[in-house]
Chains A and B, each alone.
Chain A
Amino acid sequence: MIKKYITLIFMIIAIPVIAKDKIMVVTTTEDLASIAKSVGGEKIEVVSLSKGWQDPHLVEPRPSMVMQLRKADLLVKIGMDLDMWIDGLIDAARNKNIVYGEKGYVDVSVGISVLEKPEGKIDASMGDIHLYGNPHYWLNPENGKVIGKNILEGLIRNYPEFKEEFGNNYKKFCAGLDNKIEVWRKRLLPWKNTPVVIYHQSWPYFSDFAGLKIAATIEPKPGIPPRPAYIRELIQFMKKEKPVMILQENFYSEKTGKMISSETGTPFLILPPSTGGVKEVKDYAGLFDYIVGEIEKKAAR
């Protein structure tokens, strides 16, 4: 009887060890999971802690996430203060491989040409501002290659024996993305240098890629909801400037954007800023297919 119990306890304890036949990569977002899967290929298993429909600033840490991190060989994060919710989880997981500065800790912002890095004194009078600059850099598909490179380096650092395979996967990923980028650029040409209004500061990297000019934001400052007086001024401004579209993340309330759109006649596009943000977007390239498609459909020129 005692032997039975000992065997049972041993089996429960051993489950995480026995089940591990692939490199376990845990990412903070689904965009990173998609890119990691492209680079790691069959050698890795990827889990994203947040879903694409969530607001990446406000993911609530859950104890069950600790168990994913406990098993992780690599942790891949956006960095630049976007996914700060991961810090407490890393501490709780007690996995020495994925602690800041260790081999399995991969912050994919390294090498990104960052936009909107604040200079001088920073405080909350500027809204929920990010100290290291705008962290929504994955929304420029060119940055997908930088993200992929960071993941590649992280994988090779830990598993040099698969260097060639990961390297080939990365090249394939970049080639595929480059082809897509060329197509997206062509499709977005009609909107080059046109003014747009955005809700939150998620879209500067995409605008940079597409050549859109951000004329105004519906949030007066990052994270601060607009007041009626500001909305009135914005509507007047938009009537004069005639932006070609309003871009809004699909996790914010549509009410204000819809009202502004109806007052100004500006097409209102609710877009997922991440892979998995809507069911049609199943991978990183699919995110831009969807966004470009929506622009063509709803803000036709």
Chain B
Amino acid sequence: MVKRKSKYIFAVLIAVAPYASAYAQEKIEEAAPPSGMRGAPANLPDVSVIGEIYGFTGDGEYADMNKVLFNSAELALQGYLYPKMRTDIIFAMHKHDEELEWELEEAKVTGNQILGNLGLVAGKSLVGIGKVNTLHPHHRSYFSQPAVLNNFFGDHGLMAEGLQLNYLMPLPFFAQVSVGAWQGGGHTHSHASEEPETADILDVTGSTVTVALYEEEESEEFSLAGEIYTGRLWTSFPLSSISELEVGLNMAKGNGAHFEHHMDNVKVQGIDLTFKRWPTAHKRFIWQIELYQMKREVPVGELERTGYYTFLGYRLNKYWETGLRYDSSENVLPDLVETESASLILTKKMTETTYLRAEYQNYSKPEKENKVYLQFVWGIGPHSHPLE
């Protein structure tokens, strides 16, 4: 027993010893720089990598199910290029049709104080619409992107190149207006046929119209494209010292991603609400909803589609978080397909940048299906995001 005790003591001393040896005491001579100014040597930008491994199982049949797979890696270079002006260059490697591809996810310059309360974002960026579209996947509270964002803005959210002006209104409460003019959006696609198949459908007036159909693989990649104009009013009201309500109004206007075939003009409008309450240091309650309506004008008529998600989340302590999300969304194609699903999410935070997540998805539409995802996300290096 004495020997065992000695072994324990030795083990604890070994565990504690690195603190003593790896630390030094010195006097702070100058303030530590903020995020974006932390790379070493001093003239390097902040460099970070966020990686993601996942696996899933379920009652459907998919080539990549029941496997542990690499999903994505994000390489971020972040730094200041001028006083009050920073740049974020984010490369993402992720899978397209089981092929790993590099993509420039964001390459933007953010000027925080261009003129008084006016700031701008220029370059390639996740477009400032709604609460979730601007979040990188690793920053969301769930594995899967809400169906309404998939259907209306594409699998990777609404990304485009252009300019966005953000104006912090001089009001007694937080109110920021953002307007953006963008080009592009969506991902590069190939059309299998120059002469797409057509189908007869009823438009909103009840008349029969003929429209082009997508190939299956393209239907997953619809997004706004061409010249895109966006607007967002983001307001926030502290309801108490421990709770806050955010309200956002959103709009976007542009063409469809396959405009050359469908000659479609698209308008999206939406509202988002987020209520957060922090009852203790680590507990947090969140309720969020984003609701969108899309009007898609094609030469022969107009399609109207709606979709929303609502998320209820509760962080139990520093390490565990649970969530429940309900999705209901129509697709944007002439053949109406509705998606309805409920997801249960459990996240275990391991460090400030690393977590393990399980997500159970129960689909009732378009067909009944169950899926369970396991996701492991880790980060290395200094990585920062603007206020979201």
Q: Which residues of A contact B (CB under 8 A)?
A: 12-13, 15-16, 51, 53-55, 57-58, 60-64, 66-67, 70, 79-81, 84, 87-94, 96, 99-101, 105, 107, 109-120, 123-124, 126-128, 131-133, 215-217, 220, 223-225, 230, 232-234, 236-237, 240-241, 251-253
8 Å CB contacts to A: which residues of B250-288?
276, 278, 280-282, 284
0 or 1 for each of B315-343: is its CB under 8 Å from A? (1 = yes): 00111000000000000000000000000
Nearest B residue to A118 via CB reads B22
Contact: B351 with A127, CB < 8 Å? yes
B122 within 8 A of A: no
Contact: A110 with B31, CB < 8 Å? yes
Given A87-B34, A132-B32, check contact A233 B26 (CB 8 Å): no
B367 within 8 A of A: no
Given A63-B246, A240-B5, check contact A114 B37 (CB 8 Å): no
Contact: A13 with B170, CB < 8 Å? yes
User: How long is the Cα–Cα vector from A196 to B359 in the complex, in angstroms?
Assistant: 42
Contact: A126 with B22, CB < 8 Å? yes
Q: How far is the CB of A25 from chain B (nearest CB, A)?
A: 17
Contact: B31 with A124, CB < 8 Å? no
A12 interface neighbour in B33, B171, B352, Cβ under 8 Å: B171
Contact: B32 with A64, CB < 8 Å? no
User: How long is the Cα–Cα vector from A237 to B24 in the complex, in angstroms?
Assistant: 25
Contact: B351 with A109, CB < 8 Å? no
B110 within 8 A of A: yes
A223 interface neighbour in B11, B19, B118, B351, Cβ under 8 Å: B351
User: How long is the Cα–Cα vector from A109 to B30 in the complex, in angstroms?
Assistant: 8
Contact: B282 with A251, CB < 8 Å? yes
User: How long is the Cα–Cα vector from A245 to B337 in the complex, in angstroms?
Assistant: 64
B27 interface neighbour in A112, A120, A233, Cβ under 8 Å: A112
A64 interface neighbour in B18, B168, B237, Cβ under 8 Å: B237
Given A58-B318, A64-B237, check contact A224 B387 (CB 8 Å): no
For A128, list chain B residues within 8 Å (CB).
351-352
A117 interface neighbour in B25, B354, B388, Cβ under 8 Å: B25
Residue among B32, B237, B352 facing the most chain A CB atoms (10 A cut-off): B32
Given A64-B236, A80-B28, check contact A115 B112 (CB 8 Å): no
For B28, list chain A residues within 8 Å (CB).
79-80, 109-114, 132-133
Which stretch in B69-77, B94-102, B223-231, B378-386 binds the other chain?
B378-386
B173 interface neighbour in A67, A113, A241, Cβ under 8 Å: A67
User: How long is the Cα–Cα vector from A53 to B116 in the complex, in angstroms?
Assistant: 35
Nearest A residue to B23 via CB reads A116
For B86, list chain A residues within 8 Å (CB).
91
User: How long is the Cα–Cα vector from A204 to B284 in the complex, in angstroms?
Assistant: 29
Nearest B residue to A67 via CB reads B174
Given A63-B236, A94-B168, A116-B23, check contact A58 B351 (CB 8 Å): no
B140 within 8 A of A: no
For B302, list chain A residues within 8 Å (CB).
none
User: How long is the Cα–Cα vector from A224 to B238 in the complex, in angstroms?
Assistant: 32
B9 interface neighbour in A62, A113, A220, A240, Cβ under 8 Å: A240
For B246, list chain A residues within 8 Å (CB).
63
Q: How far is the CB of B54 from chain A (nearest CB, A)?
A: 20
B84 within 8 A of A: yes
Given contacts A84-B34, A93-B168, A110-B28, 14 further A-B contacts (CB under 8 A): A60-B284, A62-B238, A64-B238, A79-B32, A80-B28, A84-B35, A91-B119, A94-B117, A99-B113, A114-B26, A117-B25, A217-B16, A233-B11, A237-B13
Contact: A92 with B351, CB < 8 Å? no
For B112, list chain A residues within 8 Å (CB).
91-92, 94, 99
B210 within 8 A of A: no
User: How long is the Cα–Cα vector from A251 to B168 in the complex, in angstroms?
Assistant: 34
0 or 1 for each of B342-354: is its CB under 8 Å from A? (1 = yes): 0000000011111
Contact: B32 with A58, CB < 8 Å? no
Contact: A117 with B26, CB < 8 Å? yes
8 Å CB contacts to A: which residues of B1-49?
5, 8-9, 11-13, 15-16, 18-19, 22-38
For B174, list chain A residues within 8 Å (CB).
63-64, 66-67
Contact: B27 with A111, CB < 8 Å? yes
User: How long is the Cα–Cα vector from A16 to B175 in the complex, in angstroms?
Assistant: 14
User: How long is the Cα–Cα vector from A64 to B83 in the complex, in angstroms?
Assistant: 25
Q: List 21 A-B contacts (CB under 8 A).
A: A61-B387, A63-B174, A66-B174, A88-B387, A91-B387, A94-B112, A94-B116, A100-B34, A111-B27, A114-B27, A118-B22, A119-B22, A124-B351, A124-B380, A126-B22, A128-B351, A216-B16, A223-B352, A233-B11, A233-B12, A241-B9
Q: How far is the CB of B106 from chain A (nearest CB, A)?
A: 16
Nearest A residue to B117 via CB reads A94
Contact: A79 with B173, CB < 8 Å? no
User: How long is the Cα–Cα vector from A215 to B25 in the complex, in angstroms?
Assistant: 18
8 Å CB contacts to A: which residues of B93-151?
110, 112-113, 116-119
Contact: A94 with B35, CB < 8 Å? no
Nearest A residue to B274 via CB reads A63
Contact: B24 with A119, CB < 8 Å? yes
B234 within 8 A of A: yes
Given A51-B241, A91-B386, A117-B26, check contact A107 B31 (CB 8 Å): yes
Q: How far is the CB of B50 from chain A (nearest CB, A)?
A: 13
User: How long is the Cα–Cα vector from A110 to B32 in the complex, in angstroms?
Assistant: 9
Q: How far is the CB of A28 from chain B (nearest CB, A)?
A: 12
Q: How far is the CB of A286 from chain B (nearest CB, A)?
A: 20
Contact: A110 with B30, CB < 8 Å? yes
For B350, list chain A residues within 8 Å (CB).
224
User: How long is the Cα–Cα vector from A89 to B236 in the complex, in angstroms?
Assistant: 14
